[in-house]
Amino acid sequence: MNDLQLAAPNRSHLQEYTVSELSRALKRSIEENFAYVRVRGEISGYKRHGSGHCYLALKDSEAVLDAVCWRITAMRLGIRPEDGMEVVCTGRLTTFPGRSKYQLVIETMELAGVGALLKLLEERRRRLAAEGLFAAGRKKPLPFLPEVIGVITSPSGAVIRDILHRLSDRFPRRVLLWPVAVQGEGAAAQLAAAIEGFNRLAERGPIPRPQLIIVARGGGSLEDLMPFNDEIVVRAAAASTIPLISAVGHETDTTLIDHASDRRAPTPTAAAEMAVPVRLELIAELGGKTSRLSAGLARLFAECRLHLAGLARGLPDPQDVIGAAAQRLDDRAERLRLAADRRLRAAQHSLDLAAAGLRPTVLSADLDRSRVRIAEIEPRLQAAMARFVDRAQYTLDSFAGRLATHSERHENLLARGYVVVRDAVARVLTQSAGISAGAPLDLEFHDGRVGVVAGSKPRPGTRRAARHPGQGSLF
């Protein structure tokens, strides 16, 4: 018994600590040896205090570690902690003397495994971008109003109902649904096959080829959206000859198919809004442009009519032009007839002189031949003269017709107050010098003719009466 007592350690000489001193010593030891640590575990008992501080525990299959995240740090966290979420936290290990326990003061928090997954996706994004699959020059413009829209999504989700409802509200279009799995094993292969399948449809085949493709699914975790980050899906979207809109997840979700598509929509409903315009807005815009076009055409026609009227006022009276031309034609025709007669008489005289110097027998024969020749020439000469007169008459008629189309009608001028004065032989008089006192005259008004007798002749040098303002010359 004494031997045992002698062998027992002498604890009476151990240093004595107060509770506070021991707590501070433990705190220094833990903080010095574990100043900065990175801990992986599952969140349990998460609670956010009214002060803004967050309290939780990290646990695995064998141990539990209390943790705290101060308010300022909690506001900067990239994720929202929830019970059951596996995370990796970085912070300082310290003690809480008030409860005799140690805890982790969290400074950063990230999903466990997400860092490696994001690194893989970033490396894949850089590799595909280096191949030019995400280049802006490859982006195709969306059709203004596609007749057929192809939708690739799950047939049982709310996504397809949202797209159809939005299209019906804006501008109803024909929709072809290609049902696929949007998560899980085999989803990536189905998505790529659907994109390639729409592109393989014939232009005028039994199944219409869509002019626009929408690839859509609702929100989800990064693991749920992984089929849309698969390389075969990205390459199929980049190779699509049909313009493609990606509408995967919520507005904050980004997948690799978003970079390869021609347009990214934040939600499936937004994709439907990008696909078609609003029908009522188009109708209103078309009505406004139609009104502007009608008004512009009306102004153009009014200006053309005004310009044409101004040109018409500058043209001479057709009666003056036609009358002078007709007089010249009559003079030329009369002179031609007289010249032809003189030519024939001269030829006849020459023939008679020549016949007088010939023997009677020869003279008679030559005279007969000359008469025959004259008889042959005379119809040809008359026909030639008739053709010349006809051509001159046709030219005059054509000129008169063209002039009449650009001038006011004779009756319209008479209706404006003009009067046509003719003498006894129906010749139009344009000057007072040709009228003698007591000569019978014929005055033509727009509603008939009146016969009058000329009065005293105006004295030479008398000035003409002032013309009524705005009244032009009739001839």
CATH of the domain at 92: 2.40.50.140
In a domain, 121, yes or no: no
Q: 360 and 266: one domain?
A: no
In a domain, 290, yes or no: no
- Cα angle at 391 between 385 and 397, to 5 degrees? 135
In a domain, 291, yes or no: no
The C-alpha atoms of residue 175 and residue 163 are separated, in whole angstroms, by 10
Q: In what order do the strands lie in the sheet with 244-248?
A: 174-179, 148-153, 212-217, 244-248, 263-264
CB 150 within 8 A of CB 210: yes
pLDDT at 110: 79
pLDDT at 474: 39
In a domain, 134, yes or no: no
In a domain, 283, yes or no: no
Residue 92: name the closest of 105, 108, 101, 102 by CA. Answer: 105
In a domain, 247, yes or no: yes
Q: 62 and 147: one domain?
A: no
Q: 177 and 98: one domain?
A: no
Last residue of a domain, one of 112, 127, 154: 112
Last residue of a domain, one of 370, 387, 407: 407
Say how many residues make up the chain.
475
Q: Is 61 helix (H, G, I), strand (E, B) or coil?
A: coil
The number of distinct structural domains making up the chain is: 4
CB neighbourhood size of 175 (10 A):
18
In a domain, 398, yes or no: yes
The C-alpha atoms of residue 152 and residue 213 are separated, in whole angstroms, by 7
Q: 77 and 158: one domain?
A: no
pLDDT tens, the chain, 475 aa long: 444 444 445 566 677 767 777 777 777 777 677 778 899 888 888 998 888 899 999 988 788 889 999 999 888 876 678 787 778 899 988 887 767 778 888 999 877 766 656 777 888 899 999 999 999 999 999 999 999 999 999 998 889 999 999 999 899 999 999 999 998 778 899 999 999 999 999 988 899 999 999 999 988 877 788 889 989 999 999 999 999 999 998 877 788 999 999 999 999 999 999 999 988 888 888 989 999 999 999 999 999 999 988 888 877 777 777 877 888 888 888 889 888 888 888 888 888 887 776 655 555 777 778 788 888 888 888 888 888 888 888 888 777 766 665 555 566 667 777 788 888 777 888 777 778 888 888 888 878 888 888 876 555 554 444 444 444 443 3
- Cα angle at 323 between 321 and 327, to 5 degrees? 120
Last residue of a domain, one of 112, 128, 161: 112
In a domain, 306, yes or no: no
Q: 452 and 430: one domain?
A: yes
CATH of the domain at 175: 3.40.50.261
Q: 366 and 420: one domain?
A: no
The C-alpha atoms of residue 18 and residue 49 are separated, in whole angstroms, by 32
pLDDT at 179: 94
In this structure, what are the phi and psi dihedrals at residue 441, rounded to the nearest 5 degrees?
-130, 155
Q: 331 and 434: one domain?
A: no
Q: In what order do the strands lie in the sheet with 420-422?
A: 420-422, 440-445, 448-453
In this structure, what are the phi and psi dihedrals at residue 434, rounded to the nearest 5 degrees?
-90, 5
pTM of the model: 0.45
Range of the domain at 389: 318-407
pLDDT at 433: 75
Q: 56 and 45: one domain?
A: yes
pLDDT at 410: 64
Site of tokens 């280049």 = 135
Q: 231 and 327: one domain?
A: no
- Cα angle at 171 between 166 and 172, to 5 degrees? 80
pLDDT at 106: 92
Q: 398 and 430: one domain?
A: no
Q: 363 and 413: one domain?
A: no
User: What CA dihedral angle connects 31, 35, 39 and 43, to 10 degrees?
Assistant: 50
Query: Which residues neighbour 117 within 8 Å (Cβ) at sequence distance 6 or greater?
Result: 222, 223
Instruction: Locate 449 and state its tokens.
Output: 């003719």
Q: 267 and 348: one domain?
A: no
